[in-house]
Structure formats: structure tokens, C-alpha cells
Amino acid sequence: MPSAMFLAVQHDCGPMDKSAGTGPKSEEKREKMKRTLLKDWKSRLSYFLQNSSSPGKPKTSKKSKQQTFTKPSPEEAQLWSEAFDELLASKYGLAAFRAFLKSEFCEENIEFWLACEDFKRTKSPQKLSSKAKKIYTDFIEKEAPKEINIDFQTKTLIAQNIQEATSGCFTTAQKRVYSLMENNSYPRFLESEFYQDLCKKPQITTEPHAT
């Protein structure tokens, strides 16, 4: 259940409300909220990193798992701003973006995109058929638990296509959701406190030389 803090700060995939008052108390309140947001972000990020392995893939060793979860350097994080694909290609970046979408109550978009990526890699016709029906039930049909925002015509076409499922069943819908994320959620992610925090270079303090 989303926390009351997130309900108050973000809603309907929109940016944070910056209309708070001014003054020392307001500034202190904003800083406290910022710290709380970052803490919540990190707990969400940890969850997505630990649950980001693809279905059917063997578990990695502790050593490789440790390397996979390494926090990116500021330079690596800055690369994510160059293209949306750069963000999605990074395991840490993808987990961070999922955590961000969850905070905006839009996580169904990235979950649908990931389900489509997994679907396209499926070779078995039997598995293709069962996965197609699950994706349709979870994301496409009316009042689906994670219903995505696509037009009625596309939904009707998908309903027809899954009767004889092929790897291209969801191509049109996936492209539309990708475009939606790239043009709306992605720019807001780049402006988020969490992403800005990742891009900050640690300040190096030097001792003044004695004269």
C-alpha cells in the first residue's frame, strides 16, 4: 500500500509539487521530506535489484551478484541522460527507473515493456501462447489489474492476435508504451532527486598547505 507521504507528494504520474512555503521551517520541512523520499527510493531500488533476474535464468554466484548490484559512478549515471535506451540497458538504471515509476504509480508501463521483452525471447509455441494470454489478462483487457493506457483499436487487434500467438503480438502496444515512457516519465526521472543524487561527484577536501 503506497505510503501517505507519496500520495501527498506525487499523483497521476505527475511531477512533485514545489509550491511549499518559504522560510527556515519550510526549508527544514522540505529537507526532511527529501531525505525521506531518498530513503524510500533506496528501499524500492533494493527490492527491484534483488528481483530483477529474468525468469528461467540460472542464479548467479554471490561474486557476480555483488558486481551486478554495484552502484554506478556519477559518470555512468550521467550516461543514462544521453538516451532512454542507455537507462534501460543498465540493470541498476532499470531498477532505479522502476522504483521511480512506482513512486509515481505508473509501474505498469515498465512492467508491460519488460513482459514484452521476455515474451519476444520465448521460443516454445506452447509457452508463447500461455505468456500471451497472461500479458493480455494482466495488462490489456478492460479493468486488468495493471491495465496500460492504449487505444481500443490496438486492444482489439491484440485480442485477435493472441488466438494464434506470435512474437509480434504486442509490438504496436509495446512501441506506444515505450514512447509514453520516453517522452513523459523519462524526463521527470532525470529531474528527480534520486537521479541527481547519483550524478553528484563526491567533493574532495584538501588540507591547506602550511606556509
Domain ranges of the chain: 74-199
Question: Grid coordinates representing 140?
Answer: 490489456
| Residue (of 60, 154, 148, 164) closest to 106 by Cα position | 148
Kindly report the backbone phi and psi dihedral angles of residue 130, in degrees, each rounded to the nearest multiple of 5, phi listed first. Answer: -70, -40
Report the percent of the chain where pLDDT is more than 70. Answer: 63
How far from chain centre, in Å, is Cα 2?
Answer: 16
CA distance 70 to 36: 22
CA distance 22 to 29: 10
Tell whether the model's pLDDT for residue 3 goes beyond 70.
no
CA distance 190 to 96: 11
For residues 8-12, give the mean pLDDT.
37
Report the percent of the chain where pLDDT is more than 90. Answer: 56
All residues at 6 or more sequence positions from 158 whose CB lies less than 8 Å from its CB, including other chains: 136, 140, 169, 170, 172, 173
CA-CA distances (angstroms) from residue 135 to 112, 129, 184, 194? 8, 10, 23, 30
Residue 70: which pLDDT band, with cuts at 50, 70 and 90? confident
**Mean pLDDT, the chain, as a whole number?**
78
CA distance 82 to 17: 26
Topology of domain 74-199, per CATH? Regulator of G-protein Signalling 4; domain 2 (1.10.167)
pLDDT of residue 32: 64
pLDDT of residue 193: 86
Residue 24: which pLDDT band, with cuts at 50, 70 and 90? low
pLDDT tens digits, residue range 144-191? 999 999 999 999 999 999 999 999 999 999 999 999 999 999 999 999
Tell whether the model's pLDDT for residue 57 goes beyond 90.
no
